[in-house]
Structure formats: structure tokens, C-alpha cells
Amino acid sequence: MHSVSANGANIPALGFGTFRMPEEDVHRILPEALRIGFRHVDTAQIYKNEAAVGDVLHSSGIPRADIFLTTKVWVDRVGHDAFITSVDESLAKLKTDYVNLLLLHWPQSEMPLTDRIGALNELRRAGKVRNIGISNFSTALMAEAIRLSDAPIVTNQIEYHPYLDQTKVIGEARKTGMSITAYYLMADSKVPHDPALRDIGARHGKTAAQVALRWAVQQKDVIALSKTATESRLRENFDIFDFALGDGEMAEIHKLARPDGRIVNPGHLAPEWD
């Protein structure tokens, strides 16, 4: 597996995501993901599974230095002390004294962005966080976060799949040395059944899901999060580095984007999208 270099961070290009994954599923499936070779694990305070992730990583036998661990601060951590305390609580649950990457989960919060970015920087200086980033930020808010931060912003984690054109956000991130981390790559299970993606997959002896994951990581500065609670799909999701899509195939997939392709759009959290 290759890594994406972004403003000093080296991030494994394929991550294992735990969104909507109950603790019992984390305990069951994450050990298998690590056994197969996943070394990038993504969680968040709001997922309510940080403790299970910490249990698995702690008992895995894999050196902490070999794991790239990401978590995210939820929007209701308002005020400097509450923000810092929430991260200390996350570290305790994760059974580690640092995370590799800490993100602001959504741009909307009662705590001003300047204060939240300041708290991220403070945590980085304290060694509790190796790298800082953002999630679900528009290009305008990306620029604002960069302006407010002393430390480099290393990623913007956003919804990205073949049906949603994120060219503008990816382009702006690239200009500043940032990466993009793609979530929802299966587009609520639309991808595995897509005829065009299945046809491309057939040319390579791969599934439509593998094609979408490969399409993401084959783009410069893009990291893909995969997620499954099904053990048989773990290997499928991981085996995307033994083939390459042609330029024509990449273009074919990009053409699947449509104006109504966005799936994740909570009005009380989302910015004005690009």
C-alpha cells in the first residue's frame, strides 16, 4: 500500500472506517482488518466506538508506531476547556497518548472556528496530536482554517464517490499541500450494483467496489476510507493495489457524477457546499 504525503504527514492511502459501527462489530471485524494489513483506522467521538477501537489496537500486538489513527472532535465540544477535555477522554478510550490525526468533524459549531483551530494547535504542541485536519469543509472554510492555523492542515475528510464531483475541493486542497480523505465511497450501496463500474471491474477481474476504491486512491493526494462489517469483504476492500485503471476508465468513472449526487447533507451541520 502506498501512502499520501500531505504537509508533513504520511497517511496510508487506504483506511478502515468505523462510521455507524457498534462496539461489538468493531471488536469482531477490526482485528481481522489489521490481520489482513490495514494500518490506517478512522473513528470519531460521535461514533461512540472509540473505546472498542482502543481495545482492539491495544491487544493487537501491532506496534503503536505502525498504526495511523484518526479521530474527530464533535461540534458540541464548545469552549476551550470542554474541547481539550474531550480529546483527553478520546485518548483514554483509545488507550494511547496521541492520535496521528485529529479533525474538526463539521464546520458548524457554537465554538468559533478560530478558537477550535487554536485548540487543535495547542493539542499538537502538547504532543497529543501529531497532525491536524478538518472534515466536511467547503473551499472557503478550508482557506479560513489554513489562515487561522499555525500548524499545517493535512486533510479535509469529505463525502466523495463516483456520483459526486469534488474536483474543485480536491484542486484547492492540492494547491496548499493538503490531502483529501474520501468517505462514503460506496454511496449507500449504489456503487456495488452500478453497471458501468461492474463492467470496468470485469476487465480487471475486480468488483465494482474495488474499482471505486482504486479510482479514489489512484487520484493524486486522495485517501480512501473503506468500511465493512462483513469479514469476506475485508480482503476485497484491501486488494486494490494490484491493478490500475486506465485514463479512459478514470474518465468514465468521473462522468458518473451528477448534480444531485450528494448524500450526506445535514442542514444544521453542513456549510454552503461548493
- The annotated binding site is made up of 105
Side chain identity at residue 98, one-letter code: Y
Residue numbering of the annotated binding site for substrate: 105
Please list the active-site residues.
47
Distance between the two ends of the chain, CA-based, in angstroms? 31
Beta strands 179-183 and 153-159, pairing class: parallel
> Any idea which residue has 469483504 for its cell?
233
Q: Is the dihedral of CA 248, 243, 8, 94 positive or negative?
A: positive
Three-class SS of residue 118?
Answer: helix
Residue 102 burial by CB count (10 A; 0-12/13-18/19+): exposed, middle or buried?
buried
